[in-house]
Amino acid sequence: MNEQVFEALGIETLPARLGGNAALKERIGADSSRWRVREVGDGNLNLVFIVTGETGSAIVKQALPYVRLVGESWPLPLKRSFFEYHALKRQAERDPGMVPEILFFDEAQAIIVMEYLTPHVILRRALIEGRQLPKIGRDLGLFTARTLFRGSDLSMPTREKKADVALFADNVELCDITENLVFSDPYFEATLNRHTTPQLDGLVEELRRDRDLKVEAQRLKHLFSAKAETLCHGDLHTGSVMVTDEDTRVIDPEFAFYGPISFDVGMLLANFWMSYFSQEGHEAEAGGRDVMRAYLMETVETIWETFRAEFANLWRSERKGILYQASLFEDRGDPLGAEQALAIVLDDIRREMLGFAGVEMHRRILGLAHNADFETIADPDRRAVCESKALKLGRHLAVNRERISSLADIRATAERLYRETLS
Amino acid sequence: MNEQVFEALGIETLPARLGGNAALKERIGADSSRWRVREVGDGNLNLVFIVTGETGSAIVKQALPYVRLVGESWPLPLKRSFFEYHALKRQAERDPGMVPEILFFDEAQAIIVMEYLTPHVILRRALIEGRQLPKIGRDLGLFTARTLFRGSDLSMPTREKKADVALFADNVELCDITENLVFSDPYFEATLNRHTTPQLDGLVEELRRDRDLKVEAQRLKHLFSAKAETLCHGDLHTGSVMVTDEDTRVIDPEFAFYGPISFDVGMLLANFWMSYFSQEGHEAEAGGRDVMRAYLMETVETIWETFRAEFANLWRSERKGILYQASLFEDRGDPLGAEQALAIVLDDIRREMLGFAGVEMHRRILGLAHNADFETIADPDRRAVCESKALKLGRHLAVNRERISSLADIRATAERLYRETLS
């Protein structure tokens, strides 16, 4: 692997090109002539292969110099693979066991070889099928709290944090995607947008006229672009989580950037709320997914409460960074000062998180990158009913985020929206 | 000037070492044997020489590898000169004529050769003497609005802004000084602290027990460390401004970093409020500086109103960055949407700015780096009276910043504090 000129892997060429790789040979078997290769990339950006040899399997992920979903007309630099690799390394340190093990990284070829997760499935697919995963609420709450706390000035030596800010500041092109596709395009007639038409036309027009909503979406973009608080996963939706009943793994952090602690949490919860509204489009008979809907709402609350509890736990036990130093509080006999600051910080995170959740729900229905929860509802009338409820909750969250004090209130609002068109 | 090993300049060695420098020769005269050199550095960190030749003068500023105020026991990297140079270049583009012209920069020797400003004096000295400068309010309001707006994602191509964030993220050691000396040390018994003792002991102890104040100081540190919104000067006090009646220049941006728009504005206003309270220590008879006090309060209001007006002007005419895009507002016939966002952004800046002002007032009286406004009041009883009022206003601003809606209210509070011990 000393090629300096990038070359995309293929099913045929992979064994020859990676056959000399010690880490891969050790994991799956040294005889590369017996490797079987399948291409399984179903994402928007990259090549993903499962390579199986005599003693095991591994994932070979390779970035392409363009957006796979769109084609060579939308170039996208290979360096996103570098950021994904560095994010995976940091996440593995900050919450061990929650990301795939990395076996090998080749920066010039933009190749990451990693653990093959089996029998894991993509969480989004499981939720569409109506499957309840018992551990995800707790696992994802802990993952967000640990990675986001430990990547911030609450925990890291600030010299390292600043160097990391500089490193990830170069992930410009992937930030640009989020900046446009999440915060701006959904709110005007951008070229790449699409939505279920004509069913949603009226509501879409209403949202694009909604001054308060547009202002909030841009305030959130302002936070996204300016608040370099911690290393975010950057794309933490249910398609970036692989699960079994016993195991939860977070994958694909190529959008990693220094941003607000609230960002990953908001993106993640938005995808559960969308799953909630999409269930209606997947149930065989009315009410057939009632138990699943209750499970999704409980999972949202579990993620948020676990996040809060673990963040508070780390605040009290690992607050070694430059912020809210113990020398001002605990060391002066004022632990309540630290508790007061924690309450304010968590309050700020909640208010921002709800805003990010709101715009994520919009962009998945109005923008370029839709999600399978809704897309797999074949009947457009039925799909539009689900999508319109998600759009309305998104608007409610984005505009009223400063005034919503509890997740229980959101559950009540969502349940009311769900019942809107029933009977 | 091809030396790669750093060597401090001296009065004797400067002509020989810089005698071959074309830019300097052109400015002050080619015959370096006739150059006269004076060392005038009165700051805390660097060597500053005035070099005069047959046709003119220039300033030669050289960083030292340690803090001049403290000595070699506190090393400080030479690269601060690199950041000062880059900040000066950007400020010169963003508000032409407001910073000294740069003639030459030598990164390895940490030398910046620049325009000699004459007959300018340091603004802080002029204010201590009771001198009113007619133009500073407007000039500094414009300078802050222009440099801070134009260095942000409101204006810059975000690729350039992100590259600049990465560049300045390496100014770790100077950020570290601010992080400790401004936001933390004043609020506990840090080694380097000093204050007028015993006169202020009671108030100092009260402030260090003040939970709300300490929490706010740390929230402001959180903003300082995480909100990479624009390129800040980083040390914009009245000692970093040189003035005549007709001209205002801003110098010494070696603390430059990507931070909140509000930071420079808050630091600057704090120094005027401190000047206000210090006048009492400089007046020959009670009330002798009444006119000066009124001038200072009017200057604060002029800076702030000019900042707001110019920021709004730029918002309406130069908002070409990724934030609050016209495509969502003006281009859709919704200019009021952009106005709504502007009101919110300015409101956020005001609330942050008041907080930064509050802690700046504290650190100049409780921390390591005091300012001459108070230090030149020889009588400690008299000085302590002035300082205690400034400390109280600082606490009021830092803790109540979210609730204070106008600068006029602050003027009333300050005037009330000023009269507290009179009669």
d(C-alpha B4, C-alpha A324), whole Å: 41
Look at residues A371, A120, A160 and name the one whose alpha carbon lies nearest to residue A242. Answer: A120
Work out the minimum CA distance from A99 to partner chain B, whole angstroms.
26
Residue type, B394: G
Cβ <8 Å between B322 and A163? no
Helices (H), A239-379: 261-282, 290-317, 335-366, 372-375
* Helix H or strand E segment including A282: helix A261-282
Cβ <8 Å between A188 and B229? no
Report the b/e string of B352-374 with b at 16+ CB within 10 A: bbbbbbbbbbbbbbbbbebbbbb
Chain B CB contacts of A217 under 8 Å are 328
Looking at domain A121-419, its CATH superfamily turns out to be Aminoglycoside phosphotransferase (APH), C-terminal lobe (3.90.1200.10)
Confidence band (pLDDT; 50, 70, 90) for B70?
confident
Work out the minimum CA distance from B312 to partner chain A, whole angstroms.
16
By the CB < 8 Å criterion, does A149 face chain B? no
d(C-alpha A263, C-alpha B1), whole Å: 49
Q: For residue B57, give the 3-state DSSP assignment.
A: strand
Q: For residue B75, give the 3-state DSSP assignment.
A: strand
Work out the minimum CA distance from B186 to partner chain A, whole angstroms.
10
A231 to chain B: nearest residue by CA?
Answer: B226
For every residue of B137-152, which 3-state class applies, written as one string?
Answer: HHHHHHHHHHHHHHCC
Q: Could you count the other beta carbons within 10 Å of the beta carbon of residue A285?
A: 6
Q: At A36, list the tokens.
A: 């079987």
Cβ <8 Å between B162 and A172? yes
What pLDDT is recorded for position B423? 59
By the CB < 8 Å criterion, does B162 face chain A? yes
Work out the minimum CA distance from A126 to partner chain B, whole angstroms.
37
Q: How confident is the model over B323-342, as pLDDT tens digits?
A: 999 999 999 999 999 999 99
By the CB < 8 Å criterion, does B332 face chain A? yes
Confidence band (pLDDT; 50, 70, 90) for A198?
very high
d(C-alpha A15, C-alpha A11), whole Å: 8
| Mean of pLDDT values over B54-75 | 91
By the CB < 8 Å criterion, does B340 face chain A? yes
What pLDDT is recorded for position A41? 80
Question: Helices B407-419 and B380-400, interaxial angle, to 10°?
Answer: 150
Cβ <8 Å between A169 and B162? yes
Nearest to B229 among A218, A226, A322 (CB): A226
Cβ <8 Å between B222 and A153? yes
Report the b/e string of B104-132 with b at 16+ CB within 10 A: bbbeebbbbbbbbbeebbbbbbbbbebee
Residue bearing the bigger pLDDT, A42 or B251 = B251
Report the b/e string of B273-282 with b at 16+ CB within 10 A: bbbbbbbbbb
Q: For residue B288, give the 3-state DSSP assignment.
A: coil
By the CB < 8 Å criterion, does B192 face chain A? no
User: Which residues of chain B does CATH 3.90.1200.10 include?
Assistant: 121-419
B 38-57 residues with CB < 8 A to A: none
For residue B243, list its beta bridge partners: B121, B248
Say if pTM beats, i.e. exceeds, 0.90: yes
Spacing of C-alpha A134 from chain mean position? 19
By the CB < 8 Å criterion, does A200 face chain B? no
Question: Torsions phi, psi of A12, nearest 5?
Answer: -75, -40
Classify burial at B42, counting beta carbons within 10 Å of its beta carbon; exposed 0-12, middle 13-18, buried 19 or more: exposed
Chain B CB contacts of A331 under 8 Å are 188
| Mean of pLDDT values over B83-95 | 98
Q: At A155, list the tokens.
A: 């925990």
Q: At B110, list the tokens.
A: 């940490």
Q: At A264, list the tokens.
A: 């990953």
Confidence band (pLDDT; 50, 70, 90) for A70?
confident
Question: Torsions phi, psi of B132, nearest 5?
Answer: -95, 130
| Mean of pLDDT values over A117-133 | 98
What pLDDT is recorded for position A45? 82
Question: Torsions phi, psi of B214, nearest 5?
Answer: -65, -40
Chain A CB contacts of B184 under 8 Å are 322, 325, 327-328
Cβ <8 Å between B323 and A228? no
d(C-alpha A254, C-alpha A78), whole Å: 10
> With left for phi above 0 and alpha for psi between -120 and 50, is residue B185 left, alpha or beta?
alpha
Confidence band (pLDDT; 50, 70, 90) for A357?
very high
Spacing of C-alpha B199 from chain mean position? 28
d(C-alpha B75, C-alpha B66), whole Å: 4
d(C-alpha B266, C-alpha B259), whole Å: 12
Residue type, B167: L
Residue A285's contacts (CB-CB under 8 Å, 6 or more residues apart) are: none
- Output the CA angle A47-A49-A50, nearest 5 degrees: 160
Q: For residue A263, give the 3-state DSSP assignment.
A: helix
pLDDT at B253 over 80: yes
| Mean of pLDDT values over A113-125 | 97
Cβ <8 Å between A328 and B187? yes
Please report, for residues A23, A350, A367, B322, the alpha-carbon distance to residue A357 in angstroms, rounded to integers and kept in the order given: 40, 10, 15, 20
DSSP state of B34: G
Strand A46-52 and strand A57-63: the pairing is antiparallel
Among A15-29, A61-75, B75-89, B112-126, which is the least confidently predicted range? A61-75
What pLDDT is recorded for position B191? 94
B342 to chain A: nearest residue by CA?
Answer: A215
Q: How confident is the model over A269-286, as pLDDT tens digits?
A: 999 999 999 999 999 999
B 3-32 residues with CB < 8 A to A: none
The topology under which CATH files domain B14-115 is Phosphorylase Kinase; domain 1 (3.30.200)
Cβ <8 Å between A165 and B169? yes
What pLDDT is recorded for position A423? 59
B174 to chain A: nearest residue by CA?
Answer: A159
Nearest to B188 among A215, A323, A328 (CB): A328
Cβ <8 Å between A327 and B184? yes
Among A94-108, A139-153, B29-43, B315-329, which is the least confidently predicted range? B29-43
By the CB < 8 Å criterion, does B254 face chain A? no
| Mean of pLDDT values over B107-111 | 97
Please report, for residues A332, A336, B274, the alpha-carbon distance to residue A339 in angstroms, rounded to integers and kept in the order given: 14, 5, 32
What pLDDT is recorded for position B364? 98
Q: At B304, list the tokens.
A: 């702030």
Cβ <8 Å between B170 and A166? yes
DSSP state of B374: H
pLDDT at B3 over 90: no
What pLDDT is recorded for position A367? 96
What pLDDT is recorded for position B1? 45
- Chain-wide mean pLDDT for chain A? 96
Cβ <8 Å between B179 and A328? no
User: Which residues of chain B does CATH 3.30.200.20 include?
Assistant: 14-115
By the CB < 8 Å criterion, does A210 face chain B? no
Q: How confident is the model over B185-220, as pLDDT tens digits?
A: 999 999 999 999 999 999 999 999 999 999 999 999
What pLDDT is recorded for position A202? 98
Chain A CB contacts of B227 under 8 Å are 226-228
Nearest to B227 among A215, A226, A322 (CB): A226
What ipTM, to 2 d.p.?
0.96
